[in-house]
Amino acid sequence: WGIEGMQETGRWLDQAGIVHAGAGDTHGAARAPQYLEAAHARVALISLASTFRPTSESLPASGLAPGRPGISGLHLAAVLHVPPAALRALQAARCAVQPQHCDEAGTAGELFGQKFRQAEDASASYSMDPVDLAEILQSVRTAQQHADFVIVAIHSHECSRNCEGGDTPAGAADFLRQLAHDAIDSGADLFVATGNHNLGAIEVYDSPARGKRPVFYGLGNFFWSDIQEPLPADLRRGNGATLAAAWENPAKATDYDLTAPLNTQTFATPFTFQSVLAESRFANGELSAIVLHPVEEGYGNSLTTSGIPQLVSDTAEAREIIGQVVLQNERFGLPALDIRYSAGTATVRP
């Protein structure tokens, strides 16, 4: 909802006493850390996003051009890695629409603005904009100078592997590992990613400069709403075919009548309604344990209760939820976690 929506969100958060970061009326305000004054410590938060709509990111002033309000954005350049057969198909398509490139051969190319490169398996890689990265890490160093504990949070929907779609949990993008390590080396004590609507991997990163620190590559959904309203007109226009297929008279469809079939296509899975509360414990300035409290949000419940988080008490269900993290660690190429189960919780030892 544009700048007005961003500013209104900030007002509501301020009124509720919730510390928030990553958006502002100036580029500097969007990048800046914000602070929680707790009873025995000051906690800093740096927030950013790699997934955002065009023109949503803040901009600094440049010459006669004024700056722009918005969010703290991290721009990415993506390259698709494709098997040989897919590479040949892409090169043939490129030749058909761009004849001037028909004589070019090789293991890489670009079509419709998307770069691709030959590889054994299908995946995607992302390179971070160096200017954005430098500004973000400078904010982390600033936060570390002014706070006792520093959290870096990113909103990221990018995926490098295991990106099949709505019925399969998505894996995090590879660039997040480098970003998390750089952030911790620069002064962060905890790094967390959200965006993909499922649990992700957990890493205990042993920073040469700062010791063991937790990295959460996806915490899924803590709250979830089956109804999205009000819906903007462009969303209705863009999903006219879905409405026509679902309802005999689309003109009578309510906002929920549109979100219901959209949810069925993408979010009709139990893991969309499962998450964890991650409790990171520190001793003598270093991570000593991560206690995971599994949460479920009423998959299949009525709309009045669906999406409200409840702690899981059933041991089998708790292990199934934590098992998603174990699988994501394996897929992300991270070491297996040392997990100790106790009733409805799981403790990760560094």
What is the average per-residue pLDDT within 31-40? 96
What is the average per-residue pLDDT within 34-42? 96
Residue 163 in tokens: 């990106």
Closest to 26 in 3D by CA, of 8, 1, 6: 6
Backbone angles phi, psi at 106, to 5 degrees: 140, -170
Query: Torsion angle, CA of 186/144/180/222, rounded to 10 degrees?
Result: 180
- Other residues' Cβ atoms within 10 Å of the Cβ of residue 225: 14
Question: Does 166 have pLDDT greater than 70?
Answer: no
**Contact criterion met (CB below 8 Å) for 114 and 78:** yes
The pTM score is 0.94
Q: What is the 3-state secondary structure (H, E, C) of the chain?
A: CHHHHHHHHHHHHHHHCCCCCCEECCHHHHHCCEEEECCCCEEEEEEEECCCCCCCECECCECCECCECEECECCEEEEEEECHHHHHHHHHHHHHHCHHHCCCCCCEEEECCEEEEECCCCEEEEEECHHHHHHHHHHHHHHHHHCCEEEEEEEECCCCCCCCCCCCCCCCCCHHHHHHHHHHHHCCCEEEEEECCCECCEEEEEECCCEEEEEECCEECCCCCCCCCCCCHHHHHHCHHHHHHHCCCHHHCCHHHHHHHHHHHHCCCHHHHEEEEEEEEEECCEEEEEEEEEEECCCCCCCCCCCCCEECCCHHHHHHHHHHHHHHHHHCCCCCCEEEEECCEEEEEC
What is the average per-residue pLDDT within 218-222? 93
- For the segment 322-338, what is each residue's pLDDT rounded down to a tens digit? 999 999 999 999 999 99
What's the pLDDT score for residue 263? 85
Tell whether the torsion through CA atoms of 135, 139, 140 and 142 is positive or negative. Answer: positive
Residue 81 in tokens: 């890695």
What is the distance between the alpha carbons of residues 208 and 190, in angstroms, rounded to a whole number? 15
What's the pLDDT score for residue 228? 78
In single-letter form, the type of residue at position 323 comes to G
- Other residues' Cβ atoms within 10 Å of the Cβ of residue 336: 8
Question: Does 343 have pLDDT greater than 90?
Answer: no
Residue 143 in tokens: 């936060």
What's the pLDDT score for residue 311? 96
What's the pLDDT score for residue 86? 93
Q: Is 35 left (phi over 0), alpha (psi -120 to 50) or beta?
A: beta
Most confident of 74-78, 84-88, 224-228, 239-243: 74-78
- For the segment 77-133, what is each residue's pLDDT rounded down to a tens digit? 999 999 999 999 999 999 999 898 888 778 999 999 999 999 998 999 999 999 999
- For the segment 269-301, what is each residue's pLDDT rounded down to a tens digit? 999 999 999 999 999 999 999 999 999 999 988
What is the distance between the alpha carbons of residues 76 and 198, in angstroms, rounded to a whole number? 22
Query: Above pLDDT 70, what percent of the chain?
Result: 99
Question: Does 202 have pLDDT greater than 90?
Answer: yes
What's the pLDDT score for residue 227? 79
Query: Above pLDDT 90, what percent of the chain?
Result: 77
What's the pLDDT score for residue 163? 84
Question: Does 264 have pLDDT greater than 80?
Answer: yes
What's the pLDDT score for residue 1? 85
Question: Does 340 have pLDDT greater than 90?
Answer: yes
What is the distance between the alpha carbons of residues 199 and 321, in angstroms, rounded to a whole number? 8
What's the pLDDT score for residue 232? 87
**Contact criterion met (CB below 8 Å) for 51 and 62:** no
Q: Is the peptide bond before 230 cis (omega within 30 degrees of 0)?
A: yes
- For the segment 131-153, what is each residue's pLDDT rounded down to a tens digit? 999 999 999 999 999 999 999 99
pLDDT range class, residue 210, cuts 50, 70, 90: very high
What contacts 65, CB < 8 A, 6 or more positions away?
Answer: none
pLDDT range class, residue 167, cuts 50, 70, 90: confident
Backbone angles phi, psi at 199, to 5 degrees: -65, 150
What is the average per-residue pLDDT within 154-182? 91
pLDDT range class, residue 161, cuts 50, 70, 90: confident
